[in-house]
Amino acid sequence: MIMIYKILGAVTGVILLLAPVSAKDTTAKKVVKKEAYTDVWQKIYGGKEDDIAYGIVALENGDSAIVGTCKSYGAQRSDICVTRMNANGEMRWRLWLGGKKKDEGRAISRTADGNIVVLGRTKSFSKAYAYDLYVAKVSLDGKKMWETTLGGDRDEYAGGIAGTDDGGMLVVGATESYGGGDKDIYIAKLSKNGKLVNAHTIGGSKDDAATALTRTRDGKMVMVGYREVKGAYAGDSDFLIMQLDQNGKMRWRKQFGGDAEDMLNGVTPTIDNGIVAIGSTRSYGSSQTDLTVMKIDAKGKTIWHKIYGFKYYEYGNAAATTPDGGFMLVGGTNTLGKGNHSLYALALDRHGELIWSHVYGGERKDVGHGVARMTDGSMMIVGETESFRLAKDFYMIKLKKQ
């Protein structure tokens, strides 16, 4: 039986432990454990309007590529923005993708030839006034190589993207245009030139959605998301995990949850061909909403499942594997920190035990949306901040292990 642990504490970046007490000494002594991670730098990036970073992927020499949604620097309403940063957080180049209407960036990955591929959604190139999925391939020097859209007469929702061995890519998300439910999972395979190879939907009569995708070490694909529970109250959903082959065909599916809303937002591969998935739960005794994280092996078996929560709202958006085989988790909290909503970061060892946590931000809203391990061994967090200027900005934090 897999035990689900709810863990309270260790949230200021310093873990406080109670030392053993002898019969003569009835006062517990606080032992301060050294922080496992420290920030190398924190930077914001943006203009006079809202600019939000959603995804990050590692490049060579400690560089990174970040995808987001930007309204500054000449964007038309909102554009998909792709930015390459060096190891010091200095911009090498930026690229705007989109048109005259609303366009939103969501996920970023690399293709077999080493270039960058981004996923978002667009109204600029939609035939109707709805959102279509948008995919673009970008060179390492910031040039658009091609772009394409996928969708129908209603809204589509971007989830995740990952490169395949043949140079193409797999895209997952959700659709209101196709399928038999209110919202169904949408899975599409594209060629290396951006041509649609195949596409299909999975779903029931209610809402089903894929929110993220990763490629495991053995070349399989794993998507995560949620499935609205039949007969439950509106909005109640289960965790959903699905392993796919590189053409998008399902190999196995895992669905479970409690008696309230449970959903997964992010996923990362493990060194043993499994995955770690992160999201939020209102089940399992949660006071409001708690951050949840779980390890699933290559056959779909739950190895461990942990919940981190406090009085109000905690949630997880993304996870990445650390150099020592552990995991870095990012999301948000409005229980902790000095502001009304802080970026929440946690580090686990390979067994799922908490070794470090910290909140970042200021007096207003700060959220972590993405995290990745860099080639120099550091961890990079990206998200949004409202705390340092009037508009929302990219929020970037580089961490190293002590």
Amino acid at 112: A
Q: Quick count: other Cβ atoms within 10 Å of Cβ 43?
A: 15
125: nearest Cα among 98, 158, 97: 98
The helix/strand count (H/E) of the chain reads as: 0, 31
Strands (DSSP E) along 26-152, which ranges? 30-33, 37-45, 51-58, 64-70, 79-85, 91-97, 103-110, 116-122, 132-138, 144-150
Amino acid at 294: M
What is the rounded distance in angstroms from the CA atom of residue 364 to the CA atom of residue 264? Answer: 25
What is the rounded distance in angstroms from the CA atom of residue 382 to the CA atom of residue 66? Answer: 8
- What are the domain boundaries of the chain? 36-401
**Percent of the chain clearing pLDDT 90 (strictly above):** 80
Residue-wise pLDDT for 116-175, tens only, equals 999 999 999 988 889 999 999 999 999 999 999 999 999 999 999 999 999 999 999 999
* 36-401 homologous superfamily: TolB, C-terminal domain (2.120.10.30)
pLDDT digit of tens for each residue in the chain (402 aa)?
Answer: 444 544 444 444 333 222 222 233 323 334 345 679 999 999 999 999 999 999 999 999 999 999 999 999 888 889 999 999 999 999 999 999 999 999 999 999 999 999 999 999 999 998 888 999 999 999 999 999 999 999 999 999 999 999 999 999 999 999 999 988 789 999 999 999 999 999 999 998 889 999 999 999 999 999 999 999 866 565 689 999 999 999 999 999 999 999 899 999 999 999 999 999 999 999 998 888 999 999 999 999 999 999 998 888 999 999 999 999 999 999 999 988 888 899 999 999 999 999 999 999 999 999 999 999 999 999 999 999 999 998 999 999 999 998
Residue-wise pLDDT for 242-290, tens only, equals 999 999 999 999 999 998 999 999 999 999 999 999 999 999 988 889 9
* Burial class (CB within 10 angstroms; exposed 0-12, middle 13-18, buried 19+) of 236: buried
DSSP run (H or E) holding 7: strand 4-7
CB 149 within 8 A of CB 155: no
Q: In sequence order, which residues have a C-beta less than 8 Å from that of residue 234 and are 6 or more positions away?
A: none
Per-chain mean pLDDT for the chain: 90
What is the rounded distance in angstroms from the CA atom of residue 385 to the CA atom of residue 366? Answer: 4
